[in-house]
């Protein structure tokens, strides 16, 4: 089944490339991009009589793109682990170099390829918790507790001064057999 669906999606790939090109056009507004993308999709859909098969192939392609995105996300996590490992190794190596220089009483080394020297900085130590600092020295990040707000809205019969229900949003669910 998947081979047949995938074979029917070459024009879908062309459509995706056309939409991507539209999305990259900096002269268009977001609304114009969305409108033109929807128009391209509708034109693609109307090219053949069997639009249900086209929608199914489009759904299959969407599912494949989601799987590819998940694979990329996994690769990103693996790269993050490698990245952190490399940084840790570099920090350890720099620490060993610093200890070796200090043990030998050297503060600067002028080498053939680099100059290595010790740099001293004064770290800042707070005498009070950050909450007690004057406001000009604080950085505050406030986030809404969405689940708690939903619960409060339900408990108050949809009459809650801090939030309200938005317009219902419909999403698409695709299950590949």
Q: Where do the structural domains in the chain lie, given as residue ranges?
A: 2-110
Please tell me the pTM assigned to this model.
0.54
> HSE on the CB side for 34, CA within 13 Å?
3
Lowest mean pLDDT: which of 25-29, 45-49, 136-140, 146-150?
Answer: 45-49
Helix (H, G, I), strand (E, B) or coil at 129: coil
d(CA 141, CA 147): 18
Backbone angles phi, psi at 10, to 5 degrees: -60, -40
pLDDT, mean of residues 119-130: 84
- Is pLDDT at 80 greater than 90 in this prediction? yes
pLDDT score of 2: 46
Lowest mean pLDDT: which of 11-20, 30-39, 126-135, 154-163?
Answer: 11-20
């Amino acid at each position: 089944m998947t081979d047949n669906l995938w074979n029917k999606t070459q024009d879908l790939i062309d459509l995706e490339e056309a939409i991507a090109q539209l999305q990259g056009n900096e002269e268009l507004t977001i609304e114009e991009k969305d409108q033109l993308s929807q128009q391209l999709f509708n034109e693609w859909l109307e090219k053949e009589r069997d639009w249900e098969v086209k929608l199914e192939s489009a759904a299959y392609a969407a599912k494949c793109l989601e799987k590819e995105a998940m694979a990329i996300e996994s690769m990103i996590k693996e790269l993050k682990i490698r990245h952190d490992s490399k940084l840790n190794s570099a920090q350890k190596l720099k620490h060993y170099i610093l200890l070796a220089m200090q043990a030998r009483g050297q503060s600067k080394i002028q080498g053939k390829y680099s100059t290595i020297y010790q740099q001293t900085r004064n770290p800042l130590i707070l005498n009070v918790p950050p909450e007690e600092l004057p406001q000009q020295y604080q950085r505050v990040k406030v986030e809404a507790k969405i689940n708690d707000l939903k619960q409060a809205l339900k408990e108050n019969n949809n009459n809650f001064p801090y939030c309200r229900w938005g317009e219902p949003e419909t999403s698409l669910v695709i299950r590949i057999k």
